[in-house]
């Protein structure tokens, strides 16, 4: 709260917008609690389409938050994704920031 | 974030989803069906062969589960590698089960050496408590609540079977009925979960998507 009693929301301005998008936040939350997961598992968890998930993954990979591991299992391609240490730290910082923000809001 | 969306609960939800294909329910049900079927076979085959005859069946069931996990479940459910907290929990569970199994083995030897001095009721009660304990620990460590129900069914199976045997003259200490019921419940639950998963189409990507991924 500021001196005049109003709630200061300006910390929201510098919130991490890469994480803040609902679909990416959902993906990062799931990846935060596991070591790695493949595309199919993430699609099942999030309900996103393959293309949608792929687009969001591209942005997260570009930001250095996720690492994509591609391999062939037999003759089938398999892609698994894990959070990088940088992604883990960014998620932790985002969570802390949001928690602080929400705790400051009046009931 | 409030308690209902805590990361622990998210992790639990992820773990439960990964265990929701029903195959382990079917496996456990098949294993428990041995307790129901072996006594019926023992008259013809003797104690040793009535149990040993199930060994090839277990290998067959395990091979089928391995194949189904890889070729049927994975394309529909995907695969996940658990985080360190879950791995630690599963490791503790493995050790606890190992120690308990050893304790049960020793207890079994003591019981066998004291045949005649330990009554049927006492033996069945002990067996029931052990099964209840095993499955309750499994439910706790694996975060799969239906294992509590299996534990209850299996825990009640020996004493209820003994009661059916003594009061109503059921054969083989009532095991074929009580363990058979528990096994059927487990197998049916597993089949329902598996069929539910099978109704979802597999999610597969072709080689081109694989190459193009993240390079749009």
* pLDDT tens figures, B127-155: 888 889 889 998 988 888 899 999 999 99
**Mean pLDDT value across chain A:** 86
Determine which helix (DSSP H) or strand (DSSP E) holds B216, and give its type and residue range.
none
Chain A interface includes B19 (CB < 8 A): no
* Higher per-residue confidence, A15 vs B186: B186
Query: Best interface-test mutation with A: which of B80, B82, B207 has the largest number of A CBs within 10 A?
Result: B80
Kindly determine whether residue B213 and residue A99, on different chains, have CB atoms separated by under 8 Å: no
The parent domain of residue B194 ranges over: 2-199
Q: Is B184 within a domain?
A: yes
φ, ψ for residue A69, nearest 5 deg: -110, 120
Query: Distance (Å) from the C-alpha of residue B65 to the closest C-alpha of chain A?
Result: 18
- A6 has pLDDT over 60: no
Helix H segments across chain A?
17-20, 22-33, 39-46, 50-62, 85-104
Q: Is B64 within a domain?
A: yes
**What digits encode the pLDDT tens for the residues B45-83?**
777 777 788 888 888 989 999 999 988 898 899 999 999
Give the residue from chain A lying closest to B12, CA to CA: A33
pTM confidence score: 0.78
Q: Is B211 within a domain?
A: no
Write the residue in A38, A61, A68 that is nearest to B78 by C-beta: A38
Residue A8, both tokens: 């200061």
The pLDDT value recorded for residue A8 is 60
Q: Enumerate residues 6+ apart whose C-beta is below 8 A from B90.
A: B82, B141, B142
The pLDDT value recorded for residue B49 is 79
Kindly determine whether residue B79 and residue A41, on different chains, have CB atoms separated by under 8 Å: yes
Give the residue from chain A lying closest to B212, CA to CA: A54
For the residues A81-105, what does the mean pLDDT come to? 90
Q: Is B212 within a domain?
A: no
The number of distinct structural domains making up chain B is 1
Q: Is B147 within a domain?
A: yes
Give the residue from chain B lying closest to A34, CA to CA: B83
The pLDDT value recorded for residue A2 is 52
Is residue B98 very low, low, confident or very high in pLDDT (cuts 50, 70, 90)?
Answer: very high
Q: Is B205 within a domain?
A: no
The pLDDT value recorded for residue B4 is 43
Kindly determine whether residue A40 and residue B78, on different chains, have CB atoms separated by under 8 Å: yes
Task: Map out the domains of chain A with their CATH numbers.
Answer: 25-99 (1.10.10.10)
Write the residue in A61, A68, A77 that is nearest to B205 by C-beta: A77
Q: Residue B152 to residues A35, B36, B128: CA-CA distances in angstroms?
A: 34, 17, 9
Q: Is B208 within a domain?
A: no
Q: Is B116 within a domain?
A: yes
């Amino acid at each position: 709260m500021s001196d005049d009693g109003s709630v200061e929301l300006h910390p929201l301005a510098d919130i991490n917008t890469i994480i803040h998008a609902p679909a990416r936040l959902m993906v990062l939350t799931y990846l935060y609690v596991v070591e790695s997961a493949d595309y199919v598992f993430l699609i099942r968890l999030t309900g996103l389409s393959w293309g949608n998930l792929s687009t969001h993954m591209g942005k997260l990979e570009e930001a250095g938050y996720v690492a994509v591991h591609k391999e062939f299992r037999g003759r089938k391609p398999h892609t698994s994704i894990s959070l990088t240490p940088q992604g883990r730290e960014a998620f932790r910082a985002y969570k802390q920031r949001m928690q602080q923000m929400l705790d400051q809001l009046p009931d | 974030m409030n308690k209902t969306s805590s990361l622990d609960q998210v992790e639990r939800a992820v773990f439960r989803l990964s265990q929701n294909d029903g195959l382990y329910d079917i496996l456990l049900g098949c294993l428990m069906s041995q307790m129901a079927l072996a006594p019926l076979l023992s008259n013809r085959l003797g104690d040793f062969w009535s149990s040993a005859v199930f060994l090839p069946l277990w290998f067959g069931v395990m091979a089928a589960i391995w194949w189904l996990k890889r070729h049927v479940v994975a394309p529909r459910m995907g695969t996940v590698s658990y985080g360190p907290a879950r791995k630690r929990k599963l490791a503790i569970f493995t050790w606890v089960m190992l120690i308990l199994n050893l304790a049960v083995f020793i207890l079994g030897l003591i019981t066998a050496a004291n045949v005649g001095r330990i009554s049927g009721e006492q033996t069945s009660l002990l067996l029931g408590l052990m099964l209840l304990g095993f499955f309750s620990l499994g439910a706790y460590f694996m975060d799969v609540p239906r294992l509590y129900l299996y534990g209850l069914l299996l825990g009640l199976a020996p004493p209820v079977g003994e009661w059916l045997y003594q009061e109503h003259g059921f054969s083989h200490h009532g095991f074929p009925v009580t363990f058979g019921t528990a096994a059927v419940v487990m197998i049916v639950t597993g089949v329902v979960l598996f069929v539910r998963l099978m109704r979802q189409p597999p999610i597969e990507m072709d080689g081109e998507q694989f190459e193009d991924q993240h390079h749009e």
